[in-house]
Amino acid sequence: MNSKPILGINKKPQLGGDVDAHCGKCKDTREHVIAALNDNGQIERVQCRTCQSNHLYRERPARSATPRAAATPRASRKEGTADSLPEGPLRKYSMQDRFALGDRIDHPRFGIGVVAEVRPGKIDVKFGRELKTLIHGA
C-alpha cells in the first residue's frame, strides 16, 4: 500500500504518518506510525500505536469470503465469560478502579479488552488472543 486515496487525492507516505498494517504482536490490523521508507518512497518499517512494537511493514491481510469463525465451529460459550462479547460501556483502565467479570476495558497500551477473571487486587483481561494480569482497586 503505497498511498492512501483521500477524496480522490493520492497521498504519498511520509515518516511519522499513519497507516493501517498487520501487527504480528497484536495479531490484528492496527494503526501504525511510519518509521522508515525505502529508496523508492515505499513504507519499509512501522511502529504499532497499540503495543509500540517496531517491525517490517505488512499490509492488511486480504479478507476471505468465508469468515474463519463460520468455517471452524466452536463449542457453545458460557454466558458471563470473556469469550461472550459483552455490550456494556467501555471504561478507561485505572489501577485505582474496581472491575467486575465481563467489564470492557480500554487500556492505553494493550487496547480494548474484556475482564476474564477477578481476584483480590488483580484481574485477568483478554486483549484479542492474549491474557494479561492487571492490578485493580482493593
pLDDT digits (tens, 9 = 90+) for 26-75: 777 888 888 888 888 888 888 888 888 888 887 766 555 555 554 444 44
Q: How many whole angstroms separate alpha carbon 129 and alpha carbon 28?
A: 10
Residue 84 resides in a domain: no
The domain tally of the chain equals: 2
Q: Which three cell numbers stand for residue 122?
A: 488483580
116 and 81 Cβ atoms separated by less than 8 Å = yes
Separation of alpha carbons 94 and 59, rounded Å: 33
Residue 103 belongs to what domain range? 90-135
Assigned domain for 103 exists: yes
First vs last Cα of the chain: how many Å apart? Answer: 47
Q: Is residue 74 part of a domain?
A: no
Q: Round the CA-based radius of gyration of the chain to a whole number and report it.
A: 18
Q: pTM surpassing 0.75?
A: no
